Amino acid sequence: MRELAKKQNQDLLLIDSGDKIDGSGISDISKIHGQYSTPIFVKQNYDILTIGNHELYLLESSIQEFKAVQEYFPDNYITSNVEFNNNGTFVPFGSKFKYFETEIKKTRILAFGFLFDFKRFNSGTKVTPIKEEIEKQWFKDTLKQYQGKVDLIVIAGHTPIDHNWPEFYHLHKHLRKYYPNTIIQYFGGHSHIRDFSIFDKNSTGIQSGRYCETVGWVSIDLNKKDLETKERFSRSYIDFNLNSFHKHSKKDIKNFDSEKGIEVTKLVAKTRKDLKLNTQIGTVHSNYYVDYVPIDHPKNIFNLITNQVLNDLPGSGERIIIINTGSIRYDLYKGPYTIDSQYIVSPFENKWVNLTVPKSIATKVAEKLNEASYISTTRLKPPHHYLKKEIVYSDEAKDKKLSKGYVTHDDFGSNGDDTPHKPVINFDIPNVVQSVQLNNEIESFIDLVFYDFITPNIKWALKELNYEIQEGENPTNYSEIFLGKLLNNYIAEKSP
């Protein structure tokens, strides 16, 4: 693609907007997530890259991110509001900003990288909210320093570009004070959807889906002075597969592979083999979906988990087990179930804890957590449900014999998907689901079991239900056999 752009006298920039770990065996099977996948990731030639929240949950991941990514991309790694505690001093993970000229057209670019207001960063790191960071002197000085010397501002951020997420729009207002007419392009992330937003006449933002399913493409005409937004910008969501890449690189299958590409393919295959990711644990005889079918459908994965898998959690007596729906990351597909599958479907290794509470209270906790008013203040669901958009069905999409996939509606309309699809429906799913394992309705104290991760939410619900847990009373350890392991055992024994 770079060669192709060069031939056409154009520049092509490749940008990554963060979250490199969690959700696949190749990154998560090692104690330090990313230990084996980061050396593969850095083989790509990024012009700008930034950090995601997943690099900040555990200190070990952050240390690795700081060392490896910084080393490979000393100039291109931009983290304007995220810092690392390097022997007692907080320093940016990468650079605070980057000012550069493109190779072909000599376009002068000022770039920043911003992470959303993430609170659960580990103690060796620090995220300053965008609204605070942009009030700092360095940011003001930088904006002033380059006034009159910038053709394009690029914001690579692990932050949603949705109009209902205020952070980038706040930043935008600020940028416009110094650069009233400069073209500004945002590259967002985090909420796992394909999306494109118009910020103003000379500024747009794109978000490129989730899990490497999409390459988000933006082209910007910087030559002409006065253009309408739709004349200046265009966008496309390219399905991340070889067919798409053959088509857009204008290379046939025979001539597509580059030497480096073959090398990286071999490295991926070798790493997967070394990590034994293809080792089969069992066989699954049906597809089980997160949200392509309603929550009570036999092929819904939460139905399988609450009615079958969670019965096998060690323990005795009457109990209710609650999990947040965000603890399942992907559909469970028919066919061989491998070590890799577990990391894709249920990667989180949380501990189970329990509180002993009256049955009449325990049975109401899930309902309370699912009350609509609570949804906006917490993140219990899978990320693509945070800013879910309503699907509008066009007749075109219904009629054709298309494969199922994304049908995206954004500020530019409904023509953004590079490959047309028949739309998949994402049914609503609740914040939490529960496995009710009770013998009768007689009031008694029972175990309320949940992941330690959602302890604050459970305590909140109990309080809302007017059930006082004693001060300092904390959940006790229940089991260390996390959901992924339970699922492995269940599939190995019962082949659902």
Q: How far is the CB of 387 from Zn ion (least distance, A)?
A: 13
Residue closer to Zn ion by CB (options 117, 312) is 117
Least Cβ distance, residue 122 to Zn ion (angstroms): 15
Q: Within positions 7 to 46, which residues make up the interface with Zn ion, using CB under 5 A?
A: 19
Question: Is the distance from CB of 164 to CB of 188 less than 8 angstroms?
Answer: no
Q: Closest CB to Zn ion among 53 and 61? A: 53
We find the least distance from the C-beta atom of residue 158 to Zn ion, in angstroms, to be 6
Least CB distance from residue 118 to Zn ion, whole Å? Answer: 8
Candidates 17, 27, 50, 53; binder of Zn ion (CB under 5 A) is: 53
List of E strands, 240-367: 280-284, 319-324, 335-338, 352-358
**Is the CB of 54 or the CB of 359 nearer to Zn ion?**
54
- One-character DSSP codes across 362-426: HHHHHHHHT-HHHHTT---S-GGGTT-------HHHHHS---EE----BTTBS--BSS--EEPP-
**Order of strands across the sheet that contains 82-86:** 89-92, 82-86, 125-127
Chain residues 215-274 in contact with Zn ion, contact rule CB under 5 A: none
Identify which range of 2-10, 162-170, 187-195, 409-417 contacts Zn ion by CB under 5 A. 187-195
Smallest distance from the beta carbon of 159 to Zn ion, in angstroms? 9
When the beta carbons of 193 and 320 are compared against Zn ion, the nearer one is 193
The conformation of residue 332, written as its DSSP 8-state character, comes to B
Residue 57 CA to residue 16 CA, distance in Å, equals 19
The C-alpha atoms of residue 476 and residue 479 are separated, in whole angstroms, by: 10
Kindly indicate which of the ranges 28-36, 52-60, 229-237, 407-415 contains the residues binding Zn ion, using the contact rule CB under 5 A: 52-60
> Amino acid letter at 205?
G
Binding residue count for Zn ion, defined by CB under 5 A = 4
CB closer to Zn ion out of 150 and 161: 161
Which 3 state secondary structure label does DSSP give 327?
helix
Cα three-residue angle 50-53-59, rounded to 5 degrees: 100
Question: Which residue number, 159 or 457, has a Cβ lying nearer to Zn ion?
Answer: 159
Compute CA 164 distance to the chain's CA centroid, rounded to the nearest angstrom.
Answer: 18
Q: What spatial distance separates the first Cα and last Cα of the chain, rounded to whole Å?
A: 44
Residue of this chain nearest to Zn ion (CB atom): 190
Q: Which stretch binds Zn ion (CB under 5 A): 70-78, 89-97, 185-193, 454-462?
A: 185-193
Tell me how many degrees the CA angle 167-171-173 measures, rounded to the nearest 5: 120
Short-list 155, 144, 138, 154, CA closest to 91: 138
Q: Which is nearer to Zn ion, 193 or 301 (CB)?
A: 193
447 closest CA partner among 355, 368, 315: 355
Rounded Cα gap, residues 168 and 184, in angstroms: 12
Shorter beta-carbon distance to Zn ion: residue 53 or 128: 53
All residues at 6 or more sequence positions from 392 whose CB lies less than 8 Å from its CB, including other chains: 409, 414
Closest contact distance (angstroms) between CB of 413 and Zn ion is: 27
Nearer to Zn ion, 116 or 482 (CB): 116
Options 171-179, 190-198, 322-330, 439-447: segment touching Zn ion (CB under 5 A): 190-198
Cβ distance to Zn ion smaller for residue 190 or 235: 190
Helices (H), 182-282: 229-232, 242-249, 253-256, 259-274
SS3 state at 253: helix
Least distance to Zn ion, CB of residue 388, Å: 16
190 binds Zn ion (CB under 5 A): yes
Nearer to Zn ion, 62 or 354 (CB): 62
Nearest approach in angstroms of CB 151 to Zn ion is 30
Pick the stretch among 51-59, 74-82, 295-303, 471-479 that binds Zn ion (CB under 5 A): 51-59
Least CB distance from residue 250 to Zn ion, whole Å?
33
* Count of Cβ atoms closer than 10 Å to residue 238 Cβ: 20
Shortest separation between residue 447's beta carbon and Zn ion, angstroms:
33
Q: Rule CB under 5 A: is residue 382 a binding residue for Zn ion?
A: no
Closer Cβ to Zn ion, 190 or 368, answer by number: 190
Segment near Zn ion (CB under 5 A), from 85-93, 182-190, 200-208, 211-219?
A: 182-190
Stretch that binds Zn ion, among 26-34, 188-196, 226-234, 314-322 (CB under 5 A): 188-196
Give the nearest distance from C-beta 192 to Zn ion in angstroms.
8
Minimum distance, C-beta of residue 51 to Zn ion, in the bound complex (Å): 10
CA atoms 46, 49, 51, 54: torsion sign: negative
Nearest to 363 by CA among 406, 305, 397, 320: 320
Dihedral, 155, 161, 137, 153 alpha carbons, nearest 10: 30
Q: How far is the CB of 190 from Zn ion (least distance, A)?
A: 4
Q: Binding residue for Zn ion (CB under 5 A) from 52, 113, 160, 347?
A: 52
Residue with Cβ nearer Zn ion (107 or 378): 378
Tokens 């940011």 belong to 139
> Rule CB under 5 A: which residues touch Zn ion?
19, 52-53, 190
